[in-house]
């Protein structure tokens, strides 16, 4: 029975590693890359640690200051450390704020911790956007390499046609040389794109907190998708979701609390004290048989310099509150403008990509095929042939760039909104 269990565990362990190896060979999906990035990226981890630190700065505001204990050896005839003193006094004092101040300070600290949490969420949002943008850039350069490889194949065909035409004395040697030049340039472009793809992997590895040259395989392809949510709905969603707006709103509330605390500076803070005196010399006590006494004291601050301190603190807090309100209005206004601009750019990129995919690329492909036959039959010159080839190549490149631009604008729009766009 034990042998069967061991065998089952061995098979399960081997199957698990086989699945992991297959997944690594197939490549990481976008969701897997985002998960790795959010777990390993130092920027996210640092923001999370600051949030946790701020959350532990709340409860101590409810506690008063530490009490102060004082011991006195008084009226020693010579040395108070070694010679018997006349009086020993024990005193405890406790400083207390005016009631309500600690609660307001704790509320302000709680909102500060909430701001730290929003900063952490903004870091998560930004790192997710960077990983997504890096992923789509890697897919774009990979797709462009495919276009470059197809261009090399097409130019080899052009070179062969030009060579046959030159051998038959139907064209000059110039056509053959220009075809060789175009092929060499296309091969160099392919090598350049391969370097760009390697750099894309390095940038993505940096976001995932991996070695720059660590192998990285991704799965997926560029897919064109539009934004189905209306502009007004996106603006409303951004006003309720974007972390910077929520941070500004909390900062405004903290400024309101700071103004209340500044006004409470006119209210006195307290100091309570208790003193116990023990007279070791009977003649020094209040009476020969009364050698101990107890004293209770209370002190409070008096704001007699209010025109220099409290009044200025109130004025400063009022201006801070005004600045916080204007900052909130500014963030809301700028977010609306940013969402509007990104929405227009994303819609334009989507429409451009559809135009190339559905109309321009098929026409360019057809034109190049016709031009290749026409050049073989001597009906067009080499310049017309190469122009139709470039038109076909440029159309495919423009389509891929438009798709990537649409995806990039969508990612930027999600950053501006503060959350992923609704899927309908």
Assess if residue 73 is contained within a domain.
no
In the predicted model, is pLDDT for residue 239 greater than 80? yes
Res 110: pLDDT: 94
Res 377: pLDDT: 86
Provide the residue range defining the domain that includes 195: 2-40+97-268+303-417
Assess if residue 62 is contained within a domain.
no
Element holding 146 (H helix, E strand): helix 101-167
Burial state string for 384-394 with b = 16 or more CB within 10 A and e = fewer than 16: ebbebbebbbe
Distance CA 332, CA 344 (A): 19
In the predicted model, is pLDDT for residue 8 greater than 60? no
State the average pLDDT for the chain.
88
* Residue among 117, 133, 120 at smallest CA distance from 33: 133
For residue 55, count CB atoms less than 10 angstroms from its CB and return exposed for 0-12, middle for 13-18, buried for 19 or more. middle
Assess if residue 13 is contained within a domain.
yes
Higher-scoring residue by pLDDT: 22, 169: 169
Assess if residue 173 is contained within a domain.
yes
Assess if residue 340 is contained within a domain.
yes
In the predicted model, is pLDDT for residue 14 greater than 70? no
In the predicted model, is pLDDT for residue 352 greater than 70? yes
370-395 tens-digit pLDDT: 998 998 888 888 899 999 999 999 99
Instruction: Work out how many domains the chain is built from and give that number.
Output: 1
DSSP-derived letter for residue 269 is: P
User: Do the Cβ atoms of 353 and 403 come closer than 8 Å?
Assistant: yes
Res 17: pLDDT: 40
403, two tokens: 């798709």
397, two tokens: 């490149």
Assess if residue 77 is contained within a domain.
no
* Runs of H (alpha helix) within 41-78: 42-55
Assess if residue 290 is contained within a domain.
no
Assess if residue 324 is contained within a domain.
yes
What CATH number corresponds to the domain at position 238?
1.20.1600.10
Least confident residue range of 190-194, 255-259, 296-300, 420-424: 420-424
In the predicted model, is pLDDT for residue 348 greater than 90? yes
Measure CA 172 to chain center: 60
* Runs of H (alpha helix) within 265-381: 310-355, 361-376
């Amino acid at each position: 029975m034990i042998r069967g269990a061991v065998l089952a565990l061995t098979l399960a362990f081997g199957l698990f590693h086989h699945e992991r190896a297959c997944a690594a060979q197939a490549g990481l999906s976008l969701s897997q890359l985002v998960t790795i990035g959010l777990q390993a990226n130092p920027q996210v981890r640092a923001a999370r640690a600051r949030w946790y630190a701020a959350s532990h700065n709340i409860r101590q505001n409810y506690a008063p200051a530490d009490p102060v204990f004082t011991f006195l050896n008084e009226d020693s005839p010579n040395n108070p450390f070694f010679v018997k003193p006349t009086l020993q006094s024990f005193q405890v004092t406790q400083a207390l704020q005016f009631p309500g101040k600690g609660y307001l300070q704790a509320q302000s600290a709680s909102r500060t911790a909430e701001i730290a949490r929003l900063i952490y969420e903004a870091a998560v949002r930004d790192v997710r956007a960077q990983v997504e943008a890096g992923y789509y850039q890697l897919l774009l350069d990979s797709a462009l390499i495919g276009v470059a490889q197809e261009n090399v194949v097409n130019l080899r065909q052009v070179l062969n046609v030009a060579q046959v035409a030159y051998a038959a004395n139907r064209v000059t040697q110039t056509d053959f040389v220009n075809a060789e030049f175009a092929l060499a340039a296309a091969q160099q472009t392919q090598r350049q794109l391969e370097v760009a793809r390697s750099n894309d992997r390095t940038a993505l590895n940096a976001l995932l907190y991996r070695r720059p040259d660590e192998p990285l395989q991704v799965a997926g392809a560029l897919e064109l998708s539009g934004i189905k949510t209306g502009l007004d709905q996106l603006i409303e969603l951004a006003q309720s979701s974007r972390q910077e707006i929520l941070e500004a709103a909390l900062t405004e509330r903290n400024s309101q609390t700071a103004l209340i605390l500044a006004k409470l500076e006119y209210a006195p803070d307290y100091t309570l004290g208790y003193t116990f005196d023990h007279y070791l010399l009977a003649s020094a006590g209040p009476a020969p048989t009364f050698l101990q006494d107890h004293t209770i004291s209370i002190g409070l601050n008096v704001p007699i310099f209010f025109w220099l301190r409290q009044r200025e603190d109130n004025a400063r807090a009022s201006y801070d509150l005004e600045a916080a309100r204007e900052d909130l209005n500014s963030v809301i206004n700028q977010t609306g403008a940013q969402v509007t601009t990104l929405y227009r750019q994303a819609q334009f990129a989507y429409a451009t990509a559809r135009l190339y995919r559905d109309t321009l690329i098929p026409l360019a492909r057809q034109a190049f095929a016709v031009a290749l036959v026409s050049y073989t039959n001597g009906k067009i010159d080499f310049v017309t042939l190469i122009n139709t080839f470039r038109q076909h190549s440029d159309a495919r490149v423009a389509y891929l760039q438009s798709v990537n631009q649409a995806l990039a604008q969508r990612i930027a729009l999600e950053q501006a909104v503060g959350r992923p766009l609704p899927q309908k």
